[in-house]
Amino acid sequence: MYSPVIESLIEQFAQFPGIGKKSAERIAFYVLNNMSNADVENMAKILTYAKSSVRFCDVCQNLTDTSPCPICSSHKRDKSVICVVEESKDVSAIEKTGQYSGLYHVLHGVISPIDDVSPDDIKIKELLLRLNGEVKEIIMATNPTVNGTATAVYIQKLLKPMGVKVTRIAHGIPIGSVLEYADELTLTKALEGRVEML
Amino acid sequence: MYSPVIESLIEQFAQFPGIGKKSAERIAFYVLNNMSNADVENMAKILTYAKSSVRFCDVCQNLTDTSPCPICSSHKRDKSVICVVEESKDVSAIEKTGQYSGLYHVLHGVISPIDDVSPDDIKIKELLLRLNGEVKEIIMATNPTVNGTATAVYIQKLLKPMGVKVTRIAHGIPIGSVLEYADELTLTKALEGRVEML
């Protein structure tokens, strides 16, 4: 339908997660119709520069272009707590709350036998290497999915003999939601995790 | 939240139409985690090459990297019919039907007084220049919106004295849909456009 150059531009965008053929077409036409040549050259430069300079932080494994990353090298962060998450975007989500001042550890995935992801394929070894005497608590903040929970339990068992406290983030009814629309598992978790009102 | 390089990568994707902050983050992490360096360099090259080589076809104003475009220069197309559309993606939509063998003309917009788009801002002059004796019919295939319809009527009035037949694509109940869910205007158009069953 389109000339080969336009087709290949559309294909580039269509490979992105959550972008179908129609959205890719819309983005390609945005690039061709609405962006200036300078804008497009700038975008191309940022793409290649980001890809070549961003890597994993040697400490927390989060994506960064300096290592250690800004969080690991900050003097303001509480180095006695490490929050373990699945992906870099989870770090961003927790940082947005502004309520957490400890460190992070990014696993880059979860253990999943079906997808052939074993404990060695995610950054668990790197977490164990961080356990010096300074770390007092590990918060497991993997997602409440089957694999996320299994990964949390697996790591908790590894850490048990090391004398570090392991906690799991709470699961329950989201704020602003109503009981009526909660699924049974969430409701069960909300009941199990009930706390005394003082 | 992220290091400046990652932030600027996310911003690049967030400027695209239909891409919010969350989707832009997901795409940025896809680039950083899932694409190879070679893939990213290739994408950067395609972006700059497409932007620098793609322009409007001198004849139909569609986006192309050769002028005239493949459709205008094809010997298989019926040069007596021109289908007038708003955007390049409309050409693609009609081509996908495989039922149209005439030529196209892309207006690149519609007349819209509110948005300060006058007839001179879209490719109407270029359409009039194409009217040699060979063209027998102009099919107005602008969208059935207020501006799309007004633009169709405006062009039809311009063309009237030139002795060329001007037609409008049919509007009615979409195939596979039901009357119950059709809005009143669509239903009115469907009634007005009724054809005899033979």
> Is there a cis peptide before residue A4, judged by omega within 30 degrees of 0?
no
Q: Please give the ipTM for the structure prediction.
A: 0.76
Express each pLDDT in B46-63 by its tens digit. 999 999 999 999 999 999
Q: Are the C-beta atoms of A122 and A101 separated by less than 8 Å?
A: no
- Look at residue A56 and tell me whether its pLDDT is greater than 80: yes
Mutate to test the interface with A, among B8, B11, B19, B35 (most CBs of A within 10 A): B19
Q: How many CB atoms lie within 10 A of CB B54?
A: 21
Tell me the H-state helices in A54-183: 88-97, 125-128, 146-159
Q: What is the DSSP letter of B97?
A: H
Measured in degrees and rounded to the nearest 5, phi and psi for residue B64 equal -160, 160
Express each pLDDT in B128-183 by its tens digit. 999 988 999 999 998 888 999 899 999 999 998 888 899 888 888 787 777 777 78
Q: Are the C-beta atoms of A119 and A57 separated by less than 8 Å?
A: no
**Confidence at B9, pLDDT banded by 50, 70, 90:** very high
Nearest CA in chain A to B26: A17
Question: How high is the pLDDT of residue B132?
Answer: 84
Mean pLDDT throughout A73-79? 94
- At position A54, the amino acid (one-letter code) is V
**Is the four-CA dihedral A173, A18, B28, A30 of positive or negative sign?**
negative
Mean pLDDT throughout A156-176? 87
- Residues in B closer than 8 angstroms to A1, CB to CB, are 91-92, 95-96
Question: How high is the pLDDT of residue B3?
Answer: 82
Q: Furthest-apart CA pair in chain A: how many Å?
A: 69
Query: Across the interface, do B12 and A47 touch by the CB < 8 Å criterion?
Result: yes
**Confidence at B1, pLDDT banded by 50, 70, 90:** low
Express each pLDDT in B80-129 by its tens digit. 999 999 999 889 888 888 888 999 999 999 999 999 999 999 999 999 99
Express each pLDDT in B86-99 by its tens digit. 999 889 888 888 88
Query: Across the interface, do B46 and A3 touch by the CB < 8 Å criterion?
Result: no
